[in-house]
Amino acid sequence: MDSQVLVALGLSLVGGLSTSLGALLVVLSNAPNLKMLGLLQGFAAGLMLSISFFDLAHNAINSIGFLKGNIWFFSGVIFFAFIANFIPEPTLAPSSDVKSKKTNGNAKGKDIMKKHRRQVMYSGIVTAIGISLHNFPEGMAVFLGSIKGLRVGLNLALAIALHNIPEGVAVALPVYFATQSKWQAFKLASLSGLAEPLGVIIVAYLFPSSLSPEILEGLLGAVGGVMAFLTLHEMLPLAFDYAGQKQAVKAVFFGMAFMSASLYFLEISLPADMSL
């Protein structure tokens, strides 16, 4: 393997595995109650929406034009809206007849909690997939930056590392709540960060010979549409249910502002002739 690729892989691992640090912040604390979970789901939804609109869709529109960028974005929305029809929603299994009201009440309460955990687990998986897809171009940027020089690649990797810590929290938190397993939460968050070194490998060995830059930008725009749909369809309803609409909306905008600031500082760390 080329030495430049090895350096880029090492730097991308620094950035990608910082999601593990975010996961550690979750697993070293107590499992949240439903209201706190709702607020943090709202925050995670804000992160996802900011990535979708201000990063992926924005870059696609700037790179391939307003019309093509929007076509790719809404193609992603329509595609996953269609796919969502075949994804079973978490539902309550019918409760068996019980002999006493007390037993019936206990069984119903347990069923409701099981439903909450299934919903939250699904939300965590959605977040992990969305953030993994978002991390691919970050790995590509680290590779291109490291070609320009070790200092550029190192600065970019450190900026991405700080940027990825809240993403690790967003993945690990719902998984921890749903499974009560610190290991499962840590593992899934860490795996989502490994998309960055995978992005290095893809850009080093497959790009640009097998994929034109226009198609790549269009696909990333479509990923933005998928993420936007998943966030509005799956994550926001949970945040509203658990934290209340007013508090959840505040958490969403806080998450959007946080990620927008993170994307800005990441952008200014890039060389003038590169963009993420």
CB 8 within 8 A of CB 153: yes
In the predicted model, is pLDDT for residue 116 greater than 90?
no
pLDDT confidence of 66, banded at 50, 70, 90? very high
In the predicted model, is pLDDT for residue 67 greater than 90?
yes
Planar angle of CA 154, 2, 214, nearest 5 degrees: 75
Comparing 9 with 95, the larger pLDDT belongs to 9
In the predicted model, is pLDDT for residue 50 greater than 50?
yes
In the predicted model, is pLDDT for residue 76 greater than 50?
yes
Distance of CA 109 to the CA centre of its chain: 31
In the predicted model, is pLDDT for residue 49 greater than 80?
yes
Lowest pLDDT segment from 3-12, 62-71, 130-139, 175-184: 130-139
- What is the model's pLDDT at position 87? 59
Q: What is the mean pLDDT of the chain?
A: 78
Distance of CA 186 to the CA centre of its chain: 14
pTM (predicted TM-score) = 0.65
Angle between helices 3-16 and 195-205 in degrees, nearest 10: 160
Distance of CA 28 to the CA centre of its chain: 21
Query: Distance between CA 166 and CA 172 in Å, rounded?
Result: 10
Over residues 83-100, the mean pLDDT reads: 49
> Across the chain, which distance is largest between two alpha carbons, in Å?
73
pLDDT confidence of 31, banded at 50, 70, 90? low
pLDDT tens, position by position, 218-244: 887 887 888 888 789 877 888 898 889
User: CA nearest 137: which of 200, 221, 191?
Assistant: 200
- What is the model's pLDDT at position 276? 55
| Residues contacting 208, CB < 8 A, separation 6+ | none
